[in-house]
């Protein structure tokens, strides 16, 4: 009963949600308005915020000017992969007892002749400013800038069990119909803890249509103050 009801609501709810999540080009900041046309041509199409975003944006601009956007992305993703698969390297990045200058020297030794100057300069800057622990966030931000450049929006569909082809196609169509010209990069995940239904993450937007969330809502209602006051 719930499953059929959920399927009937999926298209409209996900389309509305996806429309809000579709990527939008950032308005040029006031400071950039005075910049040369050449500089503006290398600015990312997405405005991100935070320290990690500043590093990612500066790296994007440098890579764009050098015609190395894709190369730098590949290198950064390789570094991210290494941090996840190599505990020794990850511990080195996050070790607060190692002086920034020593980390910077080690970074130059590790990557100096293996990666582009732009990637090495980024990692050296993170090391010198004691921000190597932010590496994964910087890589993620750079990836977001690249997705915006390619007109992509990432979507993650989480279900309690693998979706049938029919339901997967229905959800995919609902997403694609509302993100305009953006290309939906879809990935499917299975999490039995949600018990049923779906969770959908697209861009920064999240919608929870899971059975677990409904049970939680019912539990909060039952245990709410309105009943205890009776």
- Residues 98-149 have pLDDT tens digits of 898 998 888 888 888 889 999 999 999 999 899 999 999 999 999 989 988 9
Q: 98, 122, 147 — which closes off a domain?
A: 147
Choose the final residue of a domain: 128, 147, 166: 147
Task: State the Cα–Cα distance between residues 93 and 126, nearest whole angstrom.
Answer: 10
Domain co-membership, 86 together with 56: yes
**Is 87 a residue whose pLDDT tops 50?**
yes
Q: Label residue 13 by pLDDT band (50, 70, 90).
A: low
Residue 229 lies in a domain: no
User: 163 is in which domain, residue-wise?
Assistant: 2-23+152-224
> Could you tell me what percent of the chain has a pLDDT over 90?
27
Give domain status of residue 230, yes or no: no
Number of neighbours of residue 126 by Cβ within 10 angstroms: 22
Cα angle vertex 140, ends 138, 143, to 5°? 110
- Kindly state the average pLDDT of the residues 204-208: 80
Q: Is residue 189 part of a domain?
A: yes
pTM of the model: 0.64
């Amino acid at each position: 009963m719930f499953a059929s009801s959920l399927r009937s609501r999926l298209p409209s709810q996900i389309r509305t949600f996806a429309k809000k999540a579709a990527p939008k080009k950032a308005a040029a900041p006031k400071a950039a308005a005075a910049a040369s046309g050449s500089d503006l041509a290398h600015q990312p199409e997405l405005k991100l915020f935070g320290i990690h975003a500043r590093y990612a944006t500066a790296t994007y601009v440098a890579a764009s000017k050098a015609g190395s956007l894709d190369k730098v992305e590949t290198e950064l993703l390789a570094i991210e992969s290494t941090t996840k698969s190599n505990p020794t390297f990850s511990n080195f990045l996050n070790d607060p007892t190692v002086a920034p200058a020593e980390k910077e020297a080690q970074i130059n030794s590790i990557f100096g002749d293996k990666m582009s100057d732009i990637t090495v300069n980024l990692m050296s800057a993170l090391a010198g400013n004691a921000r190597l622990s932010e590496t994964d966030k910087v890589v993620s931000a750079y990836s977001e800038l690249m997705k915006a450049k390619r007109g992509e929006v990432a979507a993650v569909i989480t279900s309690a069990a693998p979706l049938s082809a029919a339901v997967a196609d229905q959800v995919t169509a609902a997403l694609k119909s509302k993100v305009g010209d953006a290309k939906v990069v879809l990935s499917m995940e299975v999490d039995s803890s949600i018990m049923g239904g779906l969770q959908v993450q697209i861009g920064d937007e999240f919608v929870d249509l899971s059975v677990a969330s409904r049970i939680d809502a019912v539990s909060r209602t039952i245990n709410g103050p309105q009943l205890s006051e009776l």
